[in-house]
Structure formats: structure tokens, C-alpha cells
């Protein structure tokens, strides 16, 4: 047995005659980890690092030969890619296999922080979909919002609610992703502290909590909708047993996802109802421990009353967005606490529905503040995918970009004569944020709370 892995867990896994206990222990003792990133397809087309090959079950995802210091890379801060464990990227494959991304859908990422799965959904789903990304813990919702801001899409709402709040939106969503809080055994190689915190009692506690989360929120999924339930645990009590419990309620049926045997993913079936599950083990593939199952809601579900709401008269000055944005007519602008936002026009009523039943941390894209009739642009606008690509900009070197991200004084020799006013700081063609060119200096408008301290 291992000197540091919980023996009770290893014994349980070893009951399966096909499970290679020796290799499982070895890969944890060696501690080597695969590093992967997933590109933002609206910002970056090629892997910016030395690649060890593509992640086979996810488009636009690559293994890296070495783990870079992402904090030093301006492209990371620009939202060009997201560092994510390759195992959890399997959600992209599921969406394509079930053709969920072929048309606009309502999607909910229930336990969303720090944002890996939300940014994946933002890229994998149809671009006209509506994504609600929820995080119950207030201290984690800010990083979720920051990562979605970097990703740059306007079709996203960030909420900060207990899962039970979604019971007030019956039959609202076509797809729910529940990456449930768990005992964390799949993270043993990544996080040694998880080993000290693991116990069979905690597995039981987590299983009960997972059932509560699902029981109190699952009404939000419509009949025929898909539930993608996942954990980073190896314990059946948190994985296959939860799938069985959901099927026993009579509300769900299990969906099989056809996979390539060469990928190293283990296809399991639950003891009670033969529910299909997919297990990722670090000794068999390039990724950490992960489990996911796909269930389809078959029970009749009452639906939220989407009554038509009379549109309010806009107090946003006409034409103020024309020079800043593309496709202005596809969005409706609104003002909240002196900030100007945009949100997809087709979901204007939905935003009001969500406001009535949930606490919203952010909706759409914060464009900036209105100072009389002048717009002071926001950082979110600079990183957004709605920004006018022809807006005035300056290309920075790596050193200049890093200085900008530290919010230091910007001194450039490349400023063309006649350039003045709001200007995008860019690195390799990607926006980092705003500068303002004045006659005698350049003001750095990178947000103070986001500045890089250690470079």
C-alpha cells in the first residue's frame, strides 16, 4: 500500500480486478502532473506555448510540454486561454456528442467558481445561448466574474445564490452542469492537503450534501433537459450512487456517451440501475481524477411563467455606443448604479425574470460609466468580444505589457503623432485594457485590484 494515500480508499478501488493499484500509487508518489490549457476561440487561434499535443476530447485544448508561469503571460490576462485540468474538459465532448450546441439553449453552471467549466460552456454552446454561472460562496464569486470578464462574452449572468434558489425557476434550463463539492480524492496529486482532509466520514457527508444540492435545484431543469453531474472524487458514494439515486426518483434516465478506447477513460455502470459513468484516473491519461455522468430528465416538469414584461424606456443617450461596439442593435443597454451595461436583446425579459428571483452579481458586459454624456470605458469593455476592432490601440512589447499589468507608469517611444485620448493597450494583437494618451503623459487605467504584484 501507499505510504501516504488513504489505505481504505486504495483498497476499495482495488476491489475492481481491472484496477491497476500499483500504477495508481506510483503516479501519485511521482507527483508529475499534466498541464493543459483551453484556448478562447474568439481571441486566440494557436497554442502560444510548446505543445505536447491536443487534448483528444476537447476542441481548442492543448497539453503543454512545460508549465509556464501564467501570471507572467499577458495573453492569460487578456483572456486568450484558460489553464484547466484536461479531465474536466470532457464536458466539451459531451456537448458535441449530444448536439447540445447546435441551437441556442438556457444553461446553468450551478457550482461554477473559479470559472473553468463556465468559460468552457461559453465556448462550446451555441453563441446565442444564455449562460447563468452561479457560486454560493461570496469569496469565490469574484474570481468567477473575473474569469468570465476575461472570456469576453455578453450572454452570461453571474449569480451568488444557494442552489435552492433555483427551485423558483422551474423548467427554465435546457442543461445543468453540477460540478458538486466533494471529498476531493481526485485532487490528491494536485493538492496534498486534500489527503489530510480526506476520510470516509467526509465522503458520507459530501454524498449527503450532493443529494441536497440536487434535490433543491433540479426542478430548474426542463423535461428532456440534460444534467451533467461531476465530481473530483473516486468514491462510488459520491458518483455512481448519486446517479442511481437520481434515477430512483423516477425523474431521470442515464445517457451513454460513446468514447474512444484509446483515451484511457474508464466507462463504468452503477450497481443499482446501470447508469453510465466516466472515470478519469491519472495513471491512465493526462489529467487528474474526475467522474462525470449524463442524465436526461424524463419526468414532467412544470415550467416557469415567462410572462411578457413591458419594456422600460431607456435613459441611455442614443448613439453613445456606436463608436465603441460592433453589432450594437443586438443588445439592449441599461444603467445600474451609474454603470452602463449591455445584454443580448433577445434575453431582455429573461434578465428581469432572473433579477426577480436571484441575487445577480453581474449581467452582460459593463461598458463603463456615463460622465454627463461622455463614456468612461470599463476594463470589461476592453476585454470584451463586442468591442469595435478598429478602436485606437498601441501594441506593447512583453516588457511594456508586464509593466502595464503592474499598473506602472507607461512610457512608449512608439506613439504616433496626433494620437490622443482613449487607447487600447495590446499585446500580440489582444487587448489588455485602457490607456489614455495626454499631451505630456500616458495614464494607465488597468484596474488597481487586478494589478500584478509579483513579477
Q: Any idea what the CATH number is for the domain that residue 421 is in?
A: 3.10.450.720
Asked whether residue 116 is marked as a ligand-binding residue, the answer is yes
115 is an annotated ligand-binding site residue: yes
Residue 443 belongs to a domain: yes
Is 112 assigned a ligand-binding role in the annotation? Answer: yes
| 401 lies in some domain | yes
CA angle 113, 256, 100 (to 5 degrees): 55
Query: Angle 265-269-275 (CA atoms, 0-180°, nearest 5)?
Result: 115
Place of cell 481504505: 8
Domain that holds residue 420: 392-455
Q: What is the pLDDT along the chain (455 residues), one digit of tens a residue?
A: 455 899 999 999 999 988 999 999 999 999 888 999 999 999 999 999 999 999 999 999 999 999 999 999 999 999 999 999 999 999 999 999 999 999 999 999 999 999 999 999 999 999 999 999 999 999 999 999 999 999 999 999 999 999 999 999 999 999 999 999 999 999 999 888 889 899 999 999 999 999 999 999 999 999 999 999 999 999 999 999 999 999 999 899 999 999 999 999 999 999 999 999 999 999 999 999 999 999 999 999 999 988 877 777 777 888 889 999 999 999 999 998 889 999 999 999 999 999 999 999 999 999 999 887 789 999 999 999 999 999 999 999 999 999 999 999 887 766 766 789 999 999 999 999 999 999 888 999 999 999 998 65
Q: Identify the bridge partners of residue 280 per DSSP, sorted by sequence position.
A: 290
**Catalytic: which of 47, 58, 206, 232?**
232
Tell me whether residue 238 is in a domain: no
Dihedral sign (CA 130, 136, 142, 147):
negative
Q: Record the cell numbers describing residue 183, joined without a space.
A: 471529498
Is the peptide bond between 132 and the residue preceding it cis, with omega within 30 degrees of 0?
no
Domain-embedded: residue 417: yes
Which residues have C-beta within 8 Å of that of residue 300, sequence separation ≥ 6? Answer: 223
Give the span between the Cα atoms of 379 and 207, in whole angstroms: 40
Indicate whether 432 belongs to any domain: yes
Is residue 329 part of an annotated ligand binding site? no
Tally of structural domains, the chain: 1
Q: What is the spatial distance between Cα 339 and Cα 362, in angstroms, rounded to a whole number?
A: 11
Q: Does residue 162 have a known ligand-binding role? A: yes
Check whether 114 is labelled as a binding-site residue. yes
> Is 28 within the bounds of a domain?
no
Q: How far is CA 307 from the centre of its chain?
A: 30
User: Does residue 447 sit within a domain?
Assistant: yes
**Angle at the Cα of 152 from the Cα atoms of 288 and 109, rounded to 5 degrees:** 50
pTM: 0.96
State the greatest distance between any 2 C-alpha atoms of the chain, in Å, as a whole number. Answer: 74
Q: 210 lies in a domain?
A: no
Instruction: Tell me, yes or no, if 47 is annotated catalytic.
Output: no
439 assigned ligand-binding residue: no
179 is in an annotated binding site: yes
Cα→Cα distances 243→14, 95, 163, 227, 246, Å:
22, 19, 18, 10, 5
Amino acid at each position: 500500500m501507499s505510504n501516504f494515500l488513504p489505505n481504505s480508499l486504495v483498497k476499495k478501488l482495488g476491489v475492481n480486478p481491472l484496477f491497476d493499484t500499483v500504477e495508481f500509487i506510483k503516479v501519485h508518489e511521482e507527483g508529475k502532473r499534466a498541464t493543459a490549457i483551453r484556448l478562447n476561440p474568439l481571441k486566440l487561434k494557436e497554442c502560444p506555448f510548446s505543445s505536447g499535443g491536443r487534448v483528444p476530447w476537447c476542441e481548442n485544448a492543448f497539453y503543454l510540454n512545460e508549465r509556464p508561469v501564467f501570471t507572467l503571460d499577458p495573453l492569460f490576462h487578456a483572456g486568450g486561454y484558460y489553464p484547466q485540468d484536461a479531465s474536466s474538459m470532457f464536458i466539451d465532448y459531451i456537448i458535441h456528442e449530444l448536439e447540445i450546441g447546435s441551437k441556442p439553449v438556457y444553461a446553468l453552471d450551478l457550482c461554477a467558481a473559479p470559472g473553468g467549466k463556465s468559460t468552457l460552456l461559453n465556448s462550446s454552446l451555441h453563441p446565442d445561448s444564455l449562460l447563468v454561472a452561479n457560486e454560493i460562496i461570496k469569496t469565490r464569486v469574484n474570481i468567477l466574474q473575473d474569469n468570465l470578464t476575461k472570456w469576453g462574452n455578453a450572454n452570461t449572468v453571474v449569480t451568488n445564490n444557494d442552489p435552492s434558489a433555483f427551485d423558483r425557476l422551474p423548467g427554465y434550463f435546457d442543461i445543468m452542469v453540477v460540478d458538486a463539492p466533494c471529498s476531493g480524492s481526485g485532487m490528491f496529486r494536485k493538492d496534498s492537503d486534500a489527503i489530510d482532509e480526506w476520510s470516509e466520514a467526509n465522503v458520507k457527508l459530501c454524498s449527503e450534501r450532493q443529494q441536497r444540492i440536487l434535490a433543491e435545484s433540479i426542478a430548474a431543469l426542463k423535461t428532456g433537459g440534460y444534467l451533467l453531474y461531476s465530481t473530483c472524487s473516486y468514491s462510488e458514494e459520491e458518483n455512481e450512487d448519486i446517479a442511481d439515486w437520481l434515477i430512483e426518483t423516477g425523474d431521470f434516465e442515464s445517457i451513454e456517451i460513446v468514447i474512444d478506447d484509446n483515451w484511457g477513460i474508464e466507462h463504468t455502470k452503477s450497481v443499482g440501475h446501470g447508469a453510465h459513468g466516466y472515470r478519469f484516473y491519472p495513471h491512465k491519461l493526462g489529467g487528474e481524477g474526475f467522474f462525470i455522468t449524463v442524465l436526461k430528465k424524463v419526468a414532467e416538469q412544470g415550467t416557469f411563467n415567462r410572462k411578457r414584461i413591458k419594456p422600460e424606456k431607456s435613459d441611455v443617450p442614443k448613439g453613445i455606443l456606436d463608436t465603441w461596439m460592433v453589432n450594437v442593435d443586438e443588445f439592449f443597454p441599461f444603467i445600474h448604479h451609474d454603470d452602463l451595461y449591455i445584454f443580448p436583446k433577445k434575453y431582455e425579459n429573461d434578465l428581469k425574470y432572473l433579477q426577480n428571483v436571484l441575487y445577480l452579481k453581474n449581467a452582460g458586459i459593463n461598458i463603463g460609466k456615463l460622465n454627463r454624456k461622455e463614456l468612461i470605458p470599463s476594463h470589461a469593455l476592453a476585454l470584451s468580444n463586442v468591442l469595435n476592432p478598429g478602436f485606437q490601440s498601441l501594441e506593447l512589447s512583453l516588457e511594456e505589457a508586464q509593466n502595464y499589468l503592474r499598473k506602472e507608469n507607461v512610457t512608449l517611444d512608439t506613439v504616433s503623432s496626433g494620437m490622443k485620448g482613449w487607447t487600447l493597450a495590446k499585446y500580440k494583437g489582444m487587448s489588455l485594457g485602457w490607456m489614455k494618451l495626454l499631451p505630456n503623459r500616458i495614464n494607465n487605467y488597468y484596474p488597481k485590484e487586478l494589478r500584478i504584484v509579483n513579477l
